[in-house]
Amino acid sequence: MSNSHTIGHLAPRNQPEEIESRGATAAEVDSRVAMAEWNAEQLIDLFAGKRPPRLVNPQAWETFAARFETAFGFWPDAS
């Protein structure tokens, strides 16, 4: 099976009508799977009322925690 895609009418004159597009490598797939698992674990912890360990903006935690309490009825654990 080829990863080539024919674009015919879009090819410049005197150029091949096929442009190679590579598929994802095993390392890229592994990386994407790891990132998806990492994000899922953070969401699971967050909705269990735990503070995620890798916050992008830790200064926003207090504001988020107040909103969380309004939505879910309890203040999330800050540890």
| Whole-number pLDDT of residue 1 | 45
pLDDT at 8: 53
Query: In the chain, where are the structural domains located?
Result: 25-79
Q: Which residues are CB-neighbours of 78 under 8 A, at least 6 positions away?
A: 51, 61, 65
In the numeric block, which tokens belong to residue 52? 């995620």
pTM (two decimals): 0.54
Q: For residue 65, name the pLDDT band (cuts at 50, 70, 90).
A: very high
- The larger pLDDT score, comparing residue 73 to residue 17, is at 73
Taking only the tens place, the pLDDT of each residue in 12-64 is: 566 555 555 567 788 888 888 899 999 999 899 888 889 888 888 989 999 99
Give residue 64's Cα distance to chain centre: 21
Enter the tokens of residue 37.
């698992």
Question: How far does Cα 38 stand from its chain's mean position?
Answer: 9
What pLDDT is recorded for position 21?
57
Q: What is the pLDDT of residue 70?
A: 95
